[in-house]
Structure 1
Amino acid sequence: MKLASFNQSGFPALAIVQESVDGPKVLPVTSWAATEDMTCSVSMRDVLQDWTYWKGRFNELRSEAKPEHWLSAADIDIVAPVPNPGSLIGIGQNYADHASEPGIPRPSEPVIFAKHPSCVVGPGSGIILPDSSQEVDYGAELAIVIGQPAFHADDSEARDAIAGYTIMNDVTARDWQSRTSQWMAAKSFPSFGPMGPLMVTADELGCAENLRISLSVNGVPRQDSATSQMIFGVVDLVRHISSVWPLSPGDVILSGTPAGAGSTLQPATFLRAGDVVEVSIEGIGVLMNHVSTTGGSHRTRTSHTSNRSITSLQTGASLR
C-alpha cells in the first residue's frame, strides 16, 4: 500500500495513493467521529498509533470508495509522509561502498546519532542553507517507519515493528559536524530532513533488501547503490536500537547513505543555492528539493514542484 500525507487546511491528512489511466489518484483516509454521524480526516501519526487495525482497514476503504471520493494527485499539496516523527534516528557509515571510501571506517556495530524532528520537510520544500555553514552536504537514505512498539525485540518482533519505508535526504553541515564528536547539531538545522514523497508499507517491500538507491544534483548522478550494500539491514537496526531504548509508533530511522556524498568527492563539492536535489529509491519514488539561502522562503513549492513530486508516485515502482 502506498500512503501520502497532504495539507488539508493546515492538517497533515493521510491518503491512499493509487495509479490510474488519468494519473495518480488519492483517497483521503477518514474515520467515523465518536459522537456524530460524520467522518473526520486522520493523520499518519493517528494511523501509526493503531497500526494493527489500520493496515487491515486500507483495503476495505479502497474497495468501499466511490469514484468521486478519489482526488487527482495533481490537485493536492503533499507534505512529508511522517511530518512529526516522535524520534528521528540516524545511522552512520552503514553502506559497504561508503565505508570503503578514504577515511570512513567500517563499523563493528551500528553508529547511532539523532536528528531533531523539527528539521523534517516535505517534497518540493526548500533545503535552506544556514548562514553559519559553507559545507552543506546531501545523503540519500532509506527511512524505516515504526508502527509497533519495540523494546529488546528479537528478529521477528523487529520485523513486525516496521510499518513501511520512505525516502529521506540526510542533509548535514559538514563544517559543524567536524567541530565535536557529536553530530546532532550538524544534522538538525531547519529543513535538513527532507522526506517523501510517500510511505510504502512493509507488506510491499518486505525487508527492503535490494532496492536501488540514487541521488543526483542538477541532474548529475552523485550516488548510485543498492540497499543490499547496507552493513546492517533494517531488521538489524530496529533490533539493535530497541536493545537500548523503546521504539514507538511514529519513530523514523534513517538507515545510512551510500558512497558519493559531496564531502568525499575530489574536490569536495557541497550544495549551493539554486541546486535541485533528487533522491530515488526503487519501489518508493523520487524525493525532489530545491536548495536556497536563508533569505528565501522555507517552502519554495510551486505548482510545478508539487506536480513533480506527485508524479514520482506514479513512477516509483520502476526505478530499477
Structure 2
Amino acid sequence: MRWTNYLSRTDQAVHSALLVEGELLALDRPLIDLLNSDVPLHGWADRAMARPWERCAAEDADLLAPIPRPPSVRDFMAFENHVVTSYAALDTEVSPVWYDQPVFYFTNPAAILGPRDMVPMAPGTARFDYELEVAAVIGRSGADLHPETAEDHIAGYVIFCDWSARDLQTTEMEVGLGPAKGKDTATSLGAYLVTPDELEPFRKGRGFDLRMNVAVNGRVYSSGNWSDLYWSFGEMLAYASRGTHLRPGDIIGSGTVGTGCILELSLTHGEAAYPWLRPDDEVLIEIEQLGAIRTKITTSSAAPIPLR
C-alpha cells in the first residue's frame, strides 16, 4: 500500500489517501489518525477502496508530507560508505563507537515539508546541502524493542531529506553539541508512505535493493543503494527505543547514503565540480518504489538577528 496526505480543495482540510493506479482514494481524516487507531492500515485501505471520501488524480493533488507533524524525528548515521568517505576526506578517523552502536540526533518536527514544497535556505548559510536518506515511520508503539522483531513496528517507509547548512553546522558543533541550527530549517518527507510488504521482494543485506538518486538542475549528483546499510532499521529501532517509547508517527531516518550529499562530493571532487545549493536550484530526490521529492530552493525568509 502507498499512503499520503493531501489538502482537499473540497473542504480545505487535510485528508489521508490511498494511492491506487494514479488515483488518490481519500478518507475523512489525516494519516496520523489512522496510525493511532485500533484499525490496521489494510483495514483502512479496504474502507478507502469501498467508500472513498473523495477521489482525485495524484498528479493534480496538493500533496503534503505523509506525517506533517511527527511526535519526534530521530536521524541516524547508518551507511558506512558515507561515514568512511566523509571522515577520510576530512582527514579524521571514524570513531570505533560507530561500529559498536548506531548513533542519532533529534531534529525539528515543526520543520517538516511535503514532497513538492519549496525549501528555504537556512538564515545566514552559504553552504546549503541536501542529504539523501530513507526513513521508517513508526506504526505501533513499543519500548525496549529487540533488533530481530523491531521492524514489526514500522508502518512504512518514506523518502527523507535532511536539508543542511554545512557552515552553520560546522561552527556550532565545535562545542560538542548539535547539529542544531545547521539542520532544523527544513526536512522533506514523501512522496508516499510505502508499507513494508510492498518492499519485501527487494530485501537484500540489511535493507532493500533499491536505487537512491539525487539530481540538481537535471544533473545527477548522488546515486546509492538502500541495501548498503551497515545498521538495519531493526537495529536502529531497538537502539532508539532503549529505555523509552516509540510512538505512532515517529520518524527514524537512516542517515545519508554513500555519495548522498554535496559535502561528501565536494570533499572528494572539489566544490567547483559540485557547488552548494543556491536559490532557484531544482532538486529531484528519488528512491525506487517510494516515489520522488521535487523541489526548488528559495532564499531564507529572514536574516540572522545578532544575539549580542
**TM value normalised by structure 1:** 0.81
Correspondence for 1:288: 294
Distance of aligned partners of 1:60 and 1:235 in 2 relative to their CA distance in 1, 3 Å threshold = same
Assess if the C-alpha contact under 8 Å between 2:107 and 2:184 holds in 1.
Answer: yes
* CA distance in 2 between partners of 1:183 and 1:280 (Å): 25
User: How many Å separate the matches in 1 of 2:222 and 2:262?
Assistant: 9
Aligned to 1:3: 3
Match of 2:29 among 42, 46, 53: 42
Cα distance in 1 for residues equivalent to 2:244 and 2:208: 25
- 1:84 is the counterpart of 2:69: yes
Shift of 1:113: 0.6
Runs of 5+ in structure 1 lacking a partner? 30-40, 297-320
Residue type of the alignment partner of 1:281: I
Partner Cα distance (2:193, 2:40) in 1: 14
Query: How big is the alpha-carbon RMSD for the aligned residues of Structure 1 and Structure 2?
Result: 2.0
Pair 1:69–1:293, CA change in 2 (3 A): closer
- Inter-partner Cα distance in structure 1 for 2:243 and 2:195: 25
Matched with 2:158 is 166
Query: 170, 184, 187: which one pairs with 1:193?
Result: 187
Alpha-carbon contact 2:141-2:247 (below 8 Å) kept: yes
Q: Structure 1 residues 281 and 74 mapped into 2: Cα distance closer, same or farther (>3 Å)?
A: closer
Tell me: CA distance 1:49–1:157, structure 2 relative to 1, closer, same or farther (3 Å). farther
> In structure 2, what is the Cα distance between the partners aligned to 1:205 and 1:83?
23
Query: Is the alpha carbon distance of 1:102 and 1:90 closer, same or farther for their aligned partners in structure 2, counting shifts above 3 Å?
Result: closer
Superposed counterparts of 1:224-243, under 5 Å: 224-243=223-242
Conserved? CA contact 1:91–1:254, under 8 Å: yes
1:53-104 Cα distance to aligned partner (Å, 9 max, x none): 13231342254247x9532223421111111111011112x21221231425
Residue 84 of structure 2 is matched in structure 1 by 100
How big is the shift at 1:156? 4.6
| Contact kept in structure 1, 2:139 and 2:155, CA below 8 Å | yes
Give the AA of the match of 1:28. Answer: A
- Residue in structure 1 matched with residue 170 of structure 2 by the alignment: 178
Shift, 1:188, TM fit: 0.4
> What is the alpha-carbon distance in structure 2 between the residues aligned to residue 102 and residue 63 of structure 1?
47
Q: Pick from 196, 204, 227 the counterpart of residue 198 of structure 2.
A: 204
Distance 1:293 1:204, change over 3 A: same
Q: Helix, strand or coil: the match of 1:186?
A: coil
Q: Given residue 5 of structure 1, which amino acid in structure 2 is its aligned partner?
A: N
Partner AA of 2:29 in structure 1: V
Letter aligned with residue 67 of structure 2:
V
The number of aligned residues is: 276
TM-score relative to the length of structure 2: 0.84
In structure 2, how many angstroms separate the alpha carbons of the residues matched to 1:102 and 1:15?
39
2: CA distance, partners of 1:144 / 1:112:
14
Give the AA of the match of 2:292.
V
Residue matched to 1:216: 215
Instruction: Name the aligned partner's letter for residue 184 of structure 1.
Output: A
The 3 A distance-change label for structure 1 pair 102 and 196 is closer
Report the residue type matching 1:78 in the other structure: L
AA of the residue aligned to 1:232: W
Return the alpha-carbon distance in structure 2 between the equivalents of residues 257 and 177 of structure 1: 16
SS at match of 1:185: coil
Q: 2:16 — aligned with what?
A: 14
Write out aligned runs for 1:235-314 (5 A): 235-260=234-259, 261-264=261-264, 265=266, 266-268=269-271, 269-294=275-300
Q: Which runs of 5+ in 2 are unaligned?
A: 89-93, 303-308
Quote the Cα distance in structure 2 between the aligned partners of 1:194 and 1:155: 27
Contact residue 209 and residue 233 of structure 1 kept, 8 A: no
Residue of structure 1 equivalent to 2:26 = 28
Give the counterpart letter for 2:290 in structure 1: I
3-state DSSP class of the match of 1:198? strand
C-alpha separation in 2, matches of 1:130 and 1:56: 39
Q: How does 1:143-162 map to 2 (within 5 A)?
A: 143-162=135-154
8 Å CA contact 2:18, 2:45 repeated in 1? no
